[in-house]
Amino acid sequence: MNLVTIERHILEQQKHFPDATGELTDLLNDVAFAAKLVRREVVRAGLVDILGFAGGTNVQGEEVKKLDLFANEKIINAIGQHGRFAVMGSEENDGIIIPPKNETGSYALLFDPLDGSSNIDVNVSVGTIFSIYKLKGEDPCKASIADCLQRGSEQVAAGYVIYGSSVVMVYTTGNGVHGFTYDPTIGEFLLSHENIVTPKTGKYYSINEGSYAQFNESTKKYLDYIKEEDPATGRPYSTRYIGSLVADFHRNLLTGGVFVYPPTTTHKNGKLRLMYEANPLAFICEQAGGRATDGKNRILDIQPSELHQRTPLYIGSEDDVLIAEQFEQGLR
């Protein structure tokens, strides 16, 4: 059996980029290491009843950090200490983070430490999502928010880790999408899904239909369409909605389908974050042959203006996303 660890795969991928210095390889390895630390805590989440509720105190009377804040701290410390990133942005922090020893870094890291937070305490899959950009300027000491606010099309790498029935890490450096399953007995992520290609059409649609009353007429029409009986077009589609974007996205990536978080009356610009959720997943989705838009524009072409900017998101199998978009644009 030829076992390929994520470290080895990342190193092999480097050969496709003749100018590579190995720095990006180290960065991705740092992210994989941080994911192992987060995994260790996530799989113990069920023990909070014994050891103390997250956000409360444990039996020793010590404060127990909420898991998403814990994950945030772990990632910042594990990754920030090597001086490979000059600047970082997290969904949990208002502003940018300048790691100590950043003077040697030439990259910016944006991440959502634990996506799907409402699922943490109920043993449902959650995940970490990340996105890497090259700094715009030469001097890492001058790294600023401008290095983070780049279009998604400028990403040099992106990925996510799902803490689910098994722990899976998926990444792209613009040369296909590759998935690795964590083997806890040896503490390694092993190649399990090489060159993921998402089906052109799927059979699932993922949307929080409980917000129906808050959707615009186009979204409502689309939902009526997707539920109609029409065997020729594979309808009705089945609903699958976990409520953790990363898990819903991963399922649809492998099986085919469409994830939609449209504008609502409470979230006029959608709820999901462009920099921490939409951009990295859009990069992965396109690399796997899928499509990602905000209903009108390609996600990766959007020029961000703020770190926590939100966007509507239509992402998944190409044909399915196209149909959802046509409804959104009033073309159907």
To ligand FDP, the closest distance from the beta carbon of 186 in angstroms equals 30
**Residue closer to ligand FDP (CB basis): 174 or 243:** 243
Contact between 96 and ligand FDP per CB under 6 A: no
Among the listed ranges 93-101, 142-150, 194-202, 239-247, the one in contact with ligand FDP (CB under 6 A) is 239-247
Q: Running DSSP on this structure, what letter comes out for residue 112?
A: E
Binds ligand FDP (CB under 6 A): choice among 208, 214, 239, 326:
208
Site string (168-197) toward ligand FDP, x via CB under 6 A? ------------------------------
Q: Is 117 helix (H, G, I), strand (E, B) or coil?
A: helix
Q: Can residue 243 be called a binding residue for ligand FDP (CB under 6 A)?
A: yes
| Residue 115 found at the interface with ligand FDP (CB under 6 A) | yes
- 45 is a contact residue toward ligand FDP (CB under 6 A): no
Residue closer to ligand FDP, measured from CB, 102 or 206: 206
Binding of residue 118 to ligand FDP (CB under 6 A):
yes
Count of residues engaged in binding ligand FDP, rule: CB under 6 A? 11
Smallest separation, CB 182 to ligand FDP (Å)? 21
**Three-state DSSP class for 13?**
helix
Closer Cβ to ligand FDP, 114 or 288, answer by number: 114
Q: Is 251 in the site for ligand FDP (CB under 6 A)?
A: no
Upstream peptide bond of 236 is cis (omega within 30 degrees of 0): yes
Binding mask 261-300 for ligand FDP (x = CB under 6 A): ----------xx----x-----------------------
Of residues 27 and 282, the one with the C-beta less far from ligand FDP: 282
Kindly state the smallest distance separating residue 70's Cβ from ligand FDP, in Å.
15
Stretch (H or E) spanning 239:
strand 238-239
Q: Does 317 bind ligand FDP (CB under 6 A)?
A: no
Q: How far apart are CA 294 and CA 10, in angstroms?
A: 31
If the CB atoms of residues 24 and 274 are measured against ligand FDP, the closer one turns out to be: 274
244 touches ligand FDP (CB under 6 A): yes
Between CA 281 and CA 291, with CA 287 as vertex, the angle to 5 degrees is: 65
Q: Does 245 contact ligand FDP by CB under 6 A?
A: yes
**Residue 134 or residue 267: which is nearer to ligand FDP going by CB?**
267
Structure tokens at 197: 């290609």
Name residue 128's beta-bridge partners. 161
For residues 257 and 319, the answer to whether their CB atoms sit within 8 Å is no
Those residues whose C-beta lies under 8 Å from the C-beta of residue 122, and which sit 6 or more positions away, are none
Q: Which residue lies nearer to ligand FDP by CB, 96 or 245?
A: 245
Contact 99, 88 (CB under 8 A): yes
- The DSSP 8-state label assigned to residue 182 in this structure reads E
CB 205 within 8 A of CB 255: no
From 29-37, 141-149, 166-174, 241-249, give the range in contact with ligand FDP by CB under 6 A.
241-249
CA distance 129 to 121: 19
Enumerate the β-bridge partners of residue 107: 85, 134
Looking at the Cβ atoms of 30 and 248, the one nearer to ligand FDP is: 248
| Phi/psi at 53 (5° precision) | -70, 140
In a 10 Å sphere around its CB, with 0-12 CB exposed, 13-18 middle and 19+ buried, how is residue 193 labelled?
middle
Minimum CB–partner distance for residue 143 and ligand FDP (Å): 26
Encoded tokens for 331: 């073309």
Of 6, 300, 55, the residue nearest 153 (C-alpha) = 300
Give contact residues for ligand FDP (rule: CB under 6 A). Answer: 115-118, 208, 243-245, 271-272, 277
